[in-house]
Amino acid sequence: MNRVKDWRQYRNATRAVRAGQYQDVGDQHSEALALTSSYVFDDAEDAAEKFAGTRSGNVYIRFTNPTTLAFEQRIAAMEGAEDAASVASGMAGYLAVAMALLQAGDHVILGAGMFGTTTRLFESYLRKFQVDVSVAGVVDLADWRALVRPNTKMFVVESPTNPIMQVADIRGLALLAAESGALLAVDNTLCTPVYQNPIDLGADLVLHSAAKYIDGQGRCGGGVVAGRADLIAEVRGVLRTMGPSLSPFNAWVFLKGLETLRIRMREHSLNAQIVAEWLAVHPDVEQVFYTGLTNHPQTELVAKQQSGHGGLVSFTVRGGQERAWALVDRLELISNTTNIGDTKSMITHPATTTHGRLSCAQKLASGIFGNLLRISVGLEDVQDIIADLDGALQHSTGEAGR
């Protein structure tokens, strides 16, 4: 059994492999997969105490599970958080946070250019419950300040944004949120705890879609919310009552994923940097969005809060949407699929897929133009990725090519 009590004495790479170890079979070294939906109590009193929460221990799969607990503890250790609660998907994490910490009459400020479904959750569904929503420019603290009201309860932001890689000043937002009596929730899916730790920068909550880099193989859905223990306790209450809990099998896959996350992120980033630099000098490419490029408009802020750049590279191509679609259709190796964070490189046309449900005005405000493409750069040999892009660029024409 793990004898370490406080993971703060270890560095992040060590926490990723060691924290939250769980064993259920004697001398087994690797974390076990506990596939059971219920648990046997010692006696009637034990059952009553565990149900009431006055004694710790497992009751039922919707409440807790040893494997999901190990995953939660490991993520919490990596994020420098007091606690974490795992959920059935990244979106379930947002829903659980909203149900736990917001009520009718509250106001939320959302960063512009967030993951499309996150924006939709707040703008379409939470409004039905009288939670009012404003959207602030991600890079502009003054914009956030101007939108604060007495009933503002939460700031929600993603940094960098996907697909156009705008960076939010997390420390600045944390100070403003604290001043305003609001919580700051940061979506850290893109950077992962390997490259960014929002809690160290003052955030109250960190959200992840674990289906992306944490899984890393494009197999399992899930998510996690990390943060202050009192807030996570509220989120656990929602999971127990409303049910969007994580499957133990998926938790076990993610637990293993965290152990190789650091080396995978390093390789994703190396490949993405090369692809971004190659695209940046291609005559048919208008603009490249990647925080690792020296012409990114926020390099100073990036250097302050990120220790790496990850695998997402977006770019606009000459020839409009027609050319962008033709390019997607000409690729032979890179997959046309909307996921990110897989070992396999993937390309997406955000305006008609991930961000397709946004209005035209919302798309323009978020920089989701028709000629924009996003690549999740995978772990193939980067020369093969570039050769595929090169071939597709050569053999595609758009409005300008006619």
Ligand X SMILES: *Cc1c(COP(=O)(O)O)cnc(C)c1O
Contacts of 116 (CB under 8 A, 6+ apart): 350, 354, 355, 356, 357, 358
Alpha-carbon 30 to chain mean position: 26
Closest contact distance (angstroms) between CB of 332 and ligand X is: 26
Question: Which tokens in the block code for residue 136?
Answer: 């602030």
CB of 201 or CB of 326, closer to ligand X: 201
Question: Which tokens in the block code for residue 129?
Answer: 């419950």
Closest contact distance (angstroms) between CB of 177 and ligand X is: 19
Q: Tell me how many residues contact ligand X (CB under 6 A).
A: 17
- Tell me which DSSP letter residue 289 carries: E
Q: What angle do CA 152, 154, 155 make, to 5 degrees?
A: 110
What number of H helices and E strands is found in the chain? 14, 12
Q: Pattern 164-203, binding to ligand X, x per CB under 6 A?
A: -----------------------x-xx-------------
3-class SS shares of the chain: helix, strand, coil, % to 5: 40, 15, 45
**Residue nearest ligand X, Cβ-based:** 90
Where would I find the beta strands (DSSP E) of 6-147? 83-87, 107-111, 132-136
Amino acid at 265: M
Residue 90 lies near ligand X (rule: CB under 6 A) = yes
Residue 119 lies near ligand X (rule: CB under 6 A) = no
Q: Which of 118, 166, 273, 366 binds ligand X (CB under 6 A)?
A: 118
Closest contact distance (angstroms) between CB of 142 and ligand X is: 25
CB of 162 or CB of 306, closer to ligand X: 162
- What are the phi and psi torsion angles at 138 (to 5°)? -65, -35
Residues 324-343 close enough to bind ligand X by CB under 6 A:
340
CB of 367 or CB of 398, closer to ligand X: 367
Q: Pattern 358-397, binding to ligand X, x per CB under 6 A?
A: ----------------------------------------
Q: Is 373 left (phi over 0), alpha (psi -120 to 50) or beta?
A: beta
Residues 228/82, Cβ–Cβ less than 8 Å: yes
Q: Quick one: which of 168, 170, 128, 134 has its CA closest to 149?
A: 134
CB of 93 or CB of 292, closer to ligand X: 93
CB of 79 or CB of 158, closer to ligand X: 158
Task: Name the burial class of residue 239, with classes exposed (0-12), middle (13-18) and buried (19+) by CB atoms within 10 angstroms of its CB.
Answer: buried
Q: Quick one: which of 287, 297, 296, 304 has its CA closest to 367?
A: 287
CB of 185 or CB of 201, closer to ligand X: 185
CB of 105 or CB of 356, closer to ligand X: 356
Q: Quick one: which of 159, 216, 226 has its CA closest to 190?
A: 159
Q: Which of 20, 218, 223, 248 binds ligand X (CB under 6 A)?
A: 223
CB of 217 or CB of 397, closer to ligand X: 217
Amino acid at 268: H
Part of the chain binding ligand X (CB under 6 A), chosen from 62-70, 85-93, 244-252, 374-382? 85-93
Part of the chain binding ligand X (CB under 6 A), chosen from 69-77, 177-185, 204-212, 311-319? 204-212
Residues 156/134, Cβ–Cβ less than 8 Å: no
Residue 158 lies near ligand X (rule: CB under 6 A) = yes
Residue 212 lies near ligand X (rule: CB under 6 A) = yes
CB of 57 or CB of 221, closer to ligand X: 221
Q: Which of 7, 22, 71, 115 binds ligand X (CB under 6 A)?
A: 115
- Tell me which DSSP letter residue 282 carries: -
CB of 22 or CB of 195, closer to ligand X: 195
Q: Which of 73, 166, 209, 291 binds ligand X (CB under 6 A)?
A: 209
Residues near ligand X (CB under 6 A) are: 89-91, 115, 117-118, 158, 162, 187, 189-190, 209, 211-212, 221, 223, 340
